[in-house]
Amino acid sequence: MMMTTWQQASRWQTIAAAGSVFVFILLPHSWALIDPLQDSDPVVVEVTIRGREFLPSTVVIPANHAVLLSFANHDAELHAFAPLTLLDDVPLHIDGNGAAQFGEHGLVRILIPSGGRAELRFTPQHAGLYDYRCDLPGHQMRAYIRVGEYGPP
């Protein structure tokens, strides 16, 4: 039996629609099972920006465990969180009222307004000592994140 062009197109539309239903129903559930950012018990670390300083100046987070890193700007001026290499090629989720800027390897910095907040959820992969700074002209603010080799602290 020979199909007309209209029948062939209709057949492909039906197949495409069925495939879309499969993707929308099953894919989100499968993806959630492998998403490292979905860890229900993240380590929460809070950093305060006050007097042109990051407080505390060094925080410790575990490797290979979800982390919620929160920055609250209590200064009357704009500041930035520029992580240098910590978040290169690391999937992350950002909340708050900061303005994120991305580059070739991921997050470059987040601009955090006065009274603002930025929250980053990610899973660090490599142990080490990483520095970050406020890279706005004249701010000279620098602090550190130590990523531990083992599970949660």
Do 19 and 53 reside in the same domain of the chain? no
Domain residue limits at 111: 39-148
Strand partners, 143: 132
Read off the pLDDT of residues 14-45 as tens digits, 9 standing for 90 and up: 544 444 444 434 434 333 333 444 556 899 99
Q: How far is CA 101 from CA 109, 110, 149, in A?
A: 5, 6, 29
pTM comes to 0.71
Do 107 and 117 reside in the same domain of the chain? yes
According to the model, what pLDDT value does residue 3 have?
54
- Token pair, residue 3, equals 């199909």
**Identity of the amino acid at 76:** A
CA angle centred on 75, ends 132 and 42, rounded to 5°: 50
Instruction: Decide if 153 is inside a domain.
Output: no
Contact call for residues 119 and 103 (beta carbons, < 8 A): no
Read off the pLDDT of residues 75-124 as tens digits, 9 standing for 90 and up: 999 999 999 999 999 999 999 999 999 999 899 999 999 999 999 999 99
Instruction: Decide if 21 is inside a domain.
Output: yes
Instruction: Decide if 128 is inside a domain.
Output: yes
Element (H, E) at 93: strand 92-96
